[in-house]
Amino acid sequence: MKKYVVLAVTTCMAIGVIIGCGAIIKKTPVGVSVVELQPQPMEQTVTCTGKVESADNESVILEIPCVAGQVYVEPGQRVEQGDVLFSVDVEATKAAMAQVGGVGAAQIPDSAILTQVTAPISGILSTLDVTEGELTAAQKPCAVIANSETLQVAIAIREQDLQKVALGQRVTIKGSGFREPLYTGILTEMAASARQQYVGSTTETVVDAVVFFDSGCVDDSLRVGLNAKALITISETPDALVVPYECVLQDEEGTEYVYVCVDEDGKTRAVRRNILSGEEWSAGFHAVSGLQAGDRVISNPEAISRDGTAITIRGGGKT
């Protein structure tokens, strides 16, 4: 009999301990991390890749083809106005002209033949279609010089981004070979038709476009042919409240919500707040409604079991 009494007493004590521990656990605040929201300027961009090129090219076209003598320059080289690009082999040129015209080479005056071909402007020699000892092409550029003082970036805009971009939008330009981390420009041209572009082993539809550098920001590190990345600004929000993605939950009805820290009755509690999210940035959602500056949003909402849960703040930051 005494044995059963002891067992009953022990059982009651165990139940009491469990209930007591449950009450203690229930009353223990949940540790959370928070992010304090502060307005900040945000922008949404479309990223395109391309290359630096001259906005002003000068083609060298010879009225009379000639046989090139010595070639002094090569593509990619900077030339100054008046620099000799290549000399002309006068005798070989006269012989070629005589063969085409059916007359003797002696009948062609030396004055009719150029002795050398020079650069009409200063810039970068982007194309040179000349070979020593060979006749230059008729009515085609034998050289193209890019004016390095007026530069632009030729980019390709992907088909899925076309409806977001428009002429006149501001552009930020970056490049690993550029001296400055950022340059600015404006989207000035878009092609009337699309084309196919290879991306690895697949193709995508793109539209060619041009970004013109802002006046005064061009320096000698912006070399024609360098790779560039263009970030086209398609929207700007001067005072955005950005909520990190991990803070936002969604209920069964599809309503988005967060938990914010609210001080009441001497305690800090997690209070549910329904929100409307807008644009998505790398840092998070734009909170269009439901939140205001200074709100402390819980960044580990999975720790909250119900609305009004008592919490203790472990740490936090601002966004």
51-77 pLDDT, tens digit per residue, is 999 888 899 999 888 999 999 999 989
Residues of the chain with CATH 2.40.30.170: 44-53+151-235
Partnered with residue 123 across adjacent β-strands are: 79
Distance CA 301, CA 184 (A): 40
Q: What is the mean pLDDT of the chain?
A: 88
**Class of the CATH-defined domain 62-146:** mainly beta
From-to residues of CATH 2.40.420.20 in the chain: 27-41+240-318
Cα 141 to the center of its chain, rounded Å: 35
27-41+240-318 topology per CATH: 2.40.420
List the beta strands (DSSP E) in 68-226: 68-71, 78-79, 84-88, 116-118, 123-128, 141-146, 151-158, 170-174, 183-190, 195-199, 202-213
pTM of structure = 0.61
pLDDT digits (tens, 9 = 90+) for 237-289: 999 999 999 999 999 999 999 999 999 888 999 999 999 999 888 899 999 99
In the three-class reduction of DSSP (H, G, I as helix; E, B as strand; rest coil), residue 105 is classed as helix
Residue intervals in the chain for CATH 2.40.50.100 = 62-146
Q: How far apart are CA 211 and CA 190, in angstroms?
A: 9
Spatial distance between the Cα atoms of 117 and 130, rounded to a whole number of angstroms: 11
201 or 161, greater pLDDT: 161
Domain 44-53+151-235: give its CATH architecture. Beta Barrel (2.40)
For tokens 């990345």, the residue is: 229
Which residue is it, tokens 């030729």? 154
Rounded mean pLDDT of 168-183?
97
